[in-house]
Amino acid sequence: YFYPLSEKDISTLNFRANREFSNNFVNQLLLKLYIKYPEKRFKNKFIFLSYMVKILANEKHQEPLVNHTSFRFGCNINAEEKDKLEYEKYLSAIEGSFDTSKEMQVRKKIAGRYGTETAYKILTQVEFKTNQYNSFVTALVPNSLDLSERQIEILSQQLEAVYGINGYYVDIVEDSEKELEKGEEPKTSNELAKGKKIKIKDR
């Protein structure tokens, strides 16, 4: 195996193939070839480099699109890395959204305040229920999410920033539990206190 190729080798390959691929891309491509053709062997490095020249010359990827240091082929990524890429893609879509609704404002704040995995799990597992006037929101946090007190406090801060100090409530619930019917929400602190599992936060 000749992985990883040196900067000098890659420079030579690019020159001979009339391409301008980055060191990272060429080595990622080499890994992909090893995975796809594990039985392929070369008698010496000269034969190998000649083979790689042909590969690069016929490569369909365009340099400007793949010459970043984070580029990876799917087959070169393990399950954990694939999950992380999925999380980042999901969060990027939220952060880049032009939606100005309160719900999206909250989602953007959450995406920006937590680590990648935690933000993804909160946004995909926490249910946000609003009243018919969209002036009050209840965040139903499944117990299995196992958020720390600090993480719940941060979530509360993001809800308060959008809905106001009296416009939200965070409730920890069992996964199978359905606390409230959609569209039905207490409007005052006294009404809020009557809920089965709801308690008024100390301020």
User: Could you tell me if 55 and 118 lie in one domain?
Assistant: no
Confidence of residue 46 (pLDDT cuts 50, 70, 90): very high
Is 117 inside a domain boundary? yes
User: Could you tell me if 112 and 47 lie in one domain?
Assistant: no
Give dist(CA 103, CA 79) in Å, integer: 31
The domain total for the chain is 2
pTM of the full structure? 0.55
Confidence of residue 54 (pLDDT cuts 50, 70, 90): very high
pLDDT of residue 12: 96
User: Could you tell me if 64 and 107 lie in one domain?
Assistant: no
161 versus 174: the higher-pLDDT residue is 161
pLDDT of residue 1: 64
Confidence of residue 66 (pLDDT cuts 50, 70, 90): very high
42 versus 180: the higher-pLDDT residue is 42
Give the list of residues 6+ apart from residue 110 with CB closer than 8 angstroms, or none: 119, 122, 123, 155, 158
Structural domain that includes position 120: 100-193
Average of pLDDT values for 18-31? 94
